[in-house]
Structure 1
Amino acid sequence: MSYKSHCPTHGHRMQRHLITSAADPAPLGEDRAAVARSRSGDIYETLRNAILSGEIRPNEPLIEADLAASFGVSRTPIREALQRLAVEQLIIPRKRGWSVREITAAEASENSEVRAALEGYAARLAVERATDEEIAAVTAIHRRRLAIEPNDDAARVETNREFHGLIVAAARNVKLRDAILRSGRFYFNGSVARRTSEEEFHLSNRDHEQIVAALQARDGDAAELAMRNHILRTFHIFRKLSYPTSEAASLAPLHGASGRG
């Protein structure tokens, strides 16, 4: 498996970065260790984002040699990155390397409840801590999202990522941000976007509109509630598209997850 096959642009960009670094004068001692950690960290972030976004799908293999060739590095930083992903239970060992772990509907449901609570609180903190410029940036992303042409799934995914990312960043809490990232095992990705109806996309935009209005009004209660309901309703769509009816039906109901959440 070549990572470039999943994300050519990002893969080539990362490869160029790593090859350039390798061509620099060889660092010594602690500097060499720092460079190695940086490369491993870059690879970890790239692979993690690809898994969470759905670019690398469940059960797909991750082979050290193939990844090393794709990134233009030795196997050592690849191995370190994969071990970090394994600790997060994003990948599992297999006969030849690793594969992306497929999570159950129950796990995804629990993740969504955790993420709804955490990201709702992040929205509340953003109300208190965001600058006017940061709220204007969130508003601008929302307006750009409203102008997206039908079936432009890549733009829908990217603006959604930017919208949520700006709000979490405005909360100014690194531990909270990291916890939200760890709970992001279900995601609005390209696969989900392609199967999301126009009505559901408009409802998502309506959710974003409510979040933006709460941020602009500096209303922490409204921002937290709007974000929590939005996350749960988004998971309701994800669950409907990703899991068999019988498996999804066995889950506890999610408050705020209805289509009109």
Structure 2
Amino acid sequence: MTQTKAPAKDAYTLILEAIDIGTFRPGDRLVESDLAERFGVSRTPIREALQRLETQSLLARDGRSLIVSSLDHNQMSELYVVRTELEGLAARLAARHATREEVRVLRDMVQADRALIGDPSALARANRRFHKQIHLASHNRYLVQQLDLVHRSMALMATTSIAAEGRGEDTLTEHQAIVDAIEACDESGAYNALRDHISQAFVTRLKLDGGDV
């Protein structure tokens, strides 16, 4: 039986994923030749990928070099306003459209993620997977696309709010409330639970950035 190979990731996806998981952090300089060697691709697709990422404001110019962008206070606040509304809408639609299997996956995620408390990096990755599952459960492709753009920009923040003391436990408690509302088909409850979750994450991030946590 012939085994089908997964398609190779393109240069854009490779760089984007490296930014998303924190391999490349805000302020890091990205050098075309280094990236080509790192990812084992030619410089032409790397150059095209860098141009695309710059157009999307994920990279910025520093003289003649490109660096991973960072968000100032105003940009971060604007991003959270958009994220709060879009995430809330995703939860509302998930409460309306999610299948029993999708709800089961969300419940299993919350349960499994309890083992990650104390590991902020792992919990942050699990948090992204949880939110992505809610986006998919909304069954609205256009909303999923917009949330993908928002979450790419979230990678430009230097810290994760889950790193704050006690935030891991609180995050999972909030996730459970979201899942409970989705399972109950409570659209308003799911919307409010997810909005409150994002709002609390934003407050925590502001405290982290201000040195109060």
* TM-score (ref. length: structure 1): 0.72
Aligned to 1:47: 15
How far apart, in 2, do the equivalents of 1:210 and 1:228 lie? 12
- Change over 3 Å in CA distance of 1:161–1:190 after alignment to 2: farther
Aligned to 1:139: 107
Structure 1 gap ranges (5+)? 1-16, 22-38, 246-261
Structure 2 gap ranges (5+)? 1-5
C-alpha contact 2:36 2:46 (8 A) present in aligned 1 = yes
Q: CA deviation at 1:244?
A: 6.6
Q: CA deviation at 1:242?
A: 2.8
- One-letter amino acid of the counterpart of residue 126, structure 1: A
- One-letter amino acid of the counterpart of residue 133, structure 2: L
- One-letter amino acid of the counterpart of residue 210, structure 1: A
C-alpha contact 1:113 1:232 (8 A) present in aligned 2 = no
Q: 2:199 aligns with which of 232, 235, 255?
A: 232
Percent identical residues: 34
Report the aligned-residue RMSD. Answer: 2.4
- One-letter amino acid of the counterpart of residue 78, structure 2: E
How far apart, in 2, do the equivalents of 1:94 and 1:239 lie? 26
1:1-261 pair list within 5 angstroms? 42-148=10-116, 150-184=117-151, 185-186=153-154, 191-192=159-160, 195-198=163-166, 200-243=167-210
C-alpha contact 1:88 1:182 (8 A) present in aligned 2 = no
Larger Rg: 1
- Change over 3 Å in CA distance of 1:92–1:189 after alignment to 2: closer
Aligned residues: 206
- Change over 3 Å in CA distance of 1:244–1:143 after alignment to 2: closer
C-alpha contact 1:63 1:96 (8 A) present in aligned 2 = no
How far apart, in 1, do the equivalents of 2:36 and 2:171 lie? 39
The runs of 4+ residues in structure 1 deviating greater than 4 Å are 187-191
C-alpha contact 1:61 1:98 (8 A) present in aligned 2 = yes
Q: Which has the higher contact order (CA 8 A, sep 6+)?
A: 2
